[in-house]
Amino acid sequence: ASAGTRFSALRLSETEHVYGPLQVRRAEKRGQKPAPRYCVLGKETCVLTWYATASTEAPSNGQRPDGSCTIALADGAPATPDLFHVQSHEGEAFECRAASAEEAARWKRSLDAITSRAISGYIQIKGRRGWKRRWVLFQPLCKKLCIYRAQPLVAHSAGTFADAHIYQQPGYRAHGEVKWAARRPSPSQPFGFSIFTPDEGQWELAAPTAKEMRRWLDSLPIFDPEAV
């Protein structure tokens, strides 16, 4: 911007956002000190954006964000009430500390409202070596899906951190946006269905029962041939 340009503060609404200063640190960097950031969470987009500033005031709309991520999971820390953790759909985990337990509770309420909209659970997914049982999460708000080796928050609390992260394998897509889904039953997987991405990627999944398959398909965008 030119020297004469003046920027107003970001337009934030308490009905659409939760915002304020937090101390933020990447969870895997345990020896690193948390950094002051002004954070903004979109309640309908699931996107957490942070700005490199120690100010308690909202940054101007001309300031570029220091980073952002789409929230998949959030977890409180009962022993430390001013602390909470979030994990993105790409598998990044962050530790966030608020100025007080009351301020942390405000963030947790909004995060709980977002994460409670997601559907998740163990389901069979077809890979290069056949079908494997994996823990899958789909967030209808942002239409994003991610795959874990095991239920991440349980694995994290048990100390098995490798299982708490996105299931990464060469040539295997472990997260992405969902375009639509469709039933794909087969003799070996009568409750099978496929999920497709905007760039024509595909996952093949299979539920153990018709009820469980319907639970997933009721939350996923279903293929509409008239929209093609």
Q: Residue 4 has what pLDDT?
A: 39
CA distances from 183 to 50, 81, 120 (A): 39, 44, 18
Q: Looking at residue 36, what is its pLDDT?
A: 96
Q: Could you tell me where in the chain the CATH 2.30.29.30 domains are found?
A: 17-115, 119-227
**pLDDT (tens digit, 9 = 90+) per residue, 51-97?**
998 888 888 878 899 999 999 988 876 678 999 989 888 888 888 99
pLDDT on residue 93: 84
CATH number of the structural domain 119-227? 2.30.29.30
Bridge partner residues of 156 (DSSP) = none
What pLDDT, on a 0 to 100 scale, did the predictor assign at position 156?
A: 57
Q: What is the CATH number of domain 17-115?
A: 2.30.29.30
pLDDT value, residue 21: 96
Tell me, what's the pLDDT at 102? 96
Residues in the chain with pLDDT values less than 70? 1-9, 77-78, 153-172, 225-228
pTM of the model: 0.83
